[in-house]
Amino acid sequence: MLTAFTSRSANISWTASHSNHFSPILHYIIHVRIGENGKWDSATGVMTPDNRTSYQLIGLQPYTVYSFRLLAVNSIGASPPSKESFPMITLQEVPNGKPSITGHQYESSSSIRIQWAPPPKETIHGEFLGYVIKYKPRERDGPEREIRVNSPLTREYTIKNLNAFTQYTISLQVVNPEGTGPAAIVAAMTDEGVPSPPRNLSITHVDDTSIKLKWEEPKQANGIIKEYQIHILNLNRNETESRSVYDPQRVKQYTVGNLRPFTSYKIWVQALNRKHGGNYSNAVQAKTDVQGPSAPLIVNLTCSSVDSLFLQWERPKTFYNQIDCYFVSYRSEKSHDFEEIELIPGPDKKEHEIYITNLTENTLYEVKVQGASKSILRNSYLVRGDFSESRKVILQSFVSPPYVDSGISAPLIAAVICASFALILAIISFILWTKYFQAAYYYLDDPPSQTRGGSPQFSETYDESEYPSVPVSLWPKHVQDLHADGDIGFSREYEAIQAGLDSELSCEYSQMMENKNKNRYVNIVAYDHTRVVLKPLNGQKKNAVDYINANYIDRKCDMYWPKEGTEIYGIIQVKILQEVVMATYTLRTFQIRNMKVKKVNIKSF
């Protein structure tokens, strides 16, 4: 019978045989069987040292089913095996096997997945309850976090809520009721995450075209910072641009250059690693300083008396904020240094003049003008601009005409005269050409002459202050401004042109009740003097409606047909059949078809 047992041993006892056949029992042989249906170890039984009827078996496995039987041995031989004992289970103990981690990888910047294989079953030493996962950042001190996996069949697990771009030490142990076994350990790292904002962005210097910035690296880079992006918003134009800095340091400085003078900017910085762009830093605002005005234009330099000059100039075309001061510099031919006169201009004045007095008669003088604007960043500092072109004049009495050096050479004057003659000849040639070919238009199928009149008349004069001319250099900017706010500028120009039309132009047909619904726009009418009059078709009554909102415009025809092949516009199919180019017009034959009705051929001049 079994008297005691542990996880590694069992104490058994028995009663001696009733008959020894007249030969004393020398010792016993104990057979051991593992499991209820296992095989007996008949060949390697355990031999007792003497004939005592108890024995302690050692070297057993924890949490294992065992059965025992005995053979008594005397000088004659061994007896048959005894009846087997009831099965017994040794006690459990802490596992000594550890799982094998077969793989690990990050799934995101905040999670890591591990895979494993369980240890051999005989190393569990008890009821297999599952696994324990422990983890902690490798470079930081602190307690480990623990996760219980309660299924022995689980072979992988994803650890979540981790820090981005951080290396973790992860251990895995098996569990039975007596405790946990030895740990399998692996180091794994999360993916790069979103960097936190750069810190303490500030402005250290501002001038007319640049802003110098300074900031510190993000508190949590969550990866390797590869670059910084600087976002610059032009508050005057509501335009944003970005610039990249590819040399990140712990404390970073960068000068944002090529900015516009006298312009407000809003700037913020963003850190980027290999996978993510981080959050924006705090925004800073600054306004660049003014820049010196462009060169004024001298329009008049004459002798006003024997000892004074009269100087007149136009305001520079380009300036910032305002022009606060002019400097008139002059010197005689005998002097090396210029003398300077300071002039404070009136508000919004475009032309300026000054008398330069106390001069010497019969002396050549050189004069130039320079504008200046007050700095908005440095008190009482004037930012000087470009000098005008120098002009020279000999100060003489009124007996002889003054000599004025305009700075234009004789070859340039000759070139201008030749160009003027060429332009006049080109204009005369164009007039003759148009008169010569005008007869070709009489062959067009025009409406009756009584419906055609003169062209619309516009006012021959205009107010320069209300409608200023646009310089050629500013024309792209002028068109860009017209496109702003949904092309509102074009609409206003159209309204201004329409308002300038002669109010006596007749548009009675457009205002008739039966024709109003044919006008696509209320304010765009067909004027009677050039109105297109529809002709009645064969078989149609002569008093049929002849109105369409269209006017003849000489030498203008929008391309409403395909260059080749067939094109469909809505439900209208247009196909060009023939194109004949004449001297002053082109004859095209189209096939036009409403997709719901039959085809119609039309000729367009």
pLDDT tens column, 336-375: 999 999 999 987 788 899 999 999 988 999 999 999 999 9
Closest CA to 126 of 59, 34, 63: 63
pLDDT at 556: 57
- When pLDDT is averaged across residues 581-602 and rounded to a whole number, the result is 77
The strand pairing partners of 604, in sequence order, are 588
501 falls in which pLDDT band (50, 70, 90)?
low
Question: Tell me, what's the pLDDT at 567?
Answer: 85
pLDDT at 451 over 60: no
Q: Which of 242, 233, 307 is nearest to 277 (CA)?
A: 242
CA distance linking residue 576 with residue 564, whole number of Å = 7
Tell me the C-alpha distance between 24 and 202, whole Å: 106
Two structure tokens written together for 299: 């329009």
CB atoms within 10 A of CB 306: 13
Per-residue pLDDT, 438: 44
Chain mean pLDDT for the chain: 84
pLDDT: which is higher, 517 or 146: 146
Q: What is the pLDDT, as a whole number, of residue 435?
A: 55
Query: What percent of the chain is predicted at pLDDT more than 70?
Result: 86
Number of C-beta neighbours around residue 408 at 10 A: 9
User: What gap in Å lies between CA 402 and CA 395, rounded to an integer?
Assistant: 7
The pLDDT value given to residue 411:
66
- CB count in 10 Å sphere of residue 457: 11
Q: Between the CA of residue 405 and those of 107, 253, 281, 311, what are the distances in Å?
A: 81, 52, 59, 14
Judge whether 70 and 45 are in contact, CB under 8 Å.
no
**Assign residue 380 a region: left if phi > 0, alpha if psi is -120 to 50, beta otherwise?**
left
For the segment 258-304, what is each residue's pLDDT rounded down to a tens digit?
999 999 999 999 999 887 888 899 999 999 999 999 999 999 999 98
- Comparing 122-131, 218-227, 384-393, the range with the smallest average pLDDT is 218-227
The token pair at 544 is 């049929």
Phi, psi of 551 (to 5 degrees): -130, 150
Q: Using 50, 70 and 90 to split pLDDT, how confident is the model at 484?
A: confident
What is the residue-wise DSSP string for 172-201? EEEEETTEE-PPEEEEEEPPP-PPPPPEEE
Residue of 127, 146, 126, 119 whose CA lies nearest to 135? 146
Looking at 88-97, 110-119, 390-399, 470-479, which range is the least confident one? 390-399
Q: Which of 20-34, 194-208, 560-574 has the highest mean pLDDT?
A: 194-208
Question: Does the reported pTM lie above 0.75?
Answer: no
**pLDDT surpassing 80 at residue 453:** no
Euclidean distance between CA atoms 577 and 592, whole angstroms: 10
233 pLDDT band, cuts 50/70/90, is very high
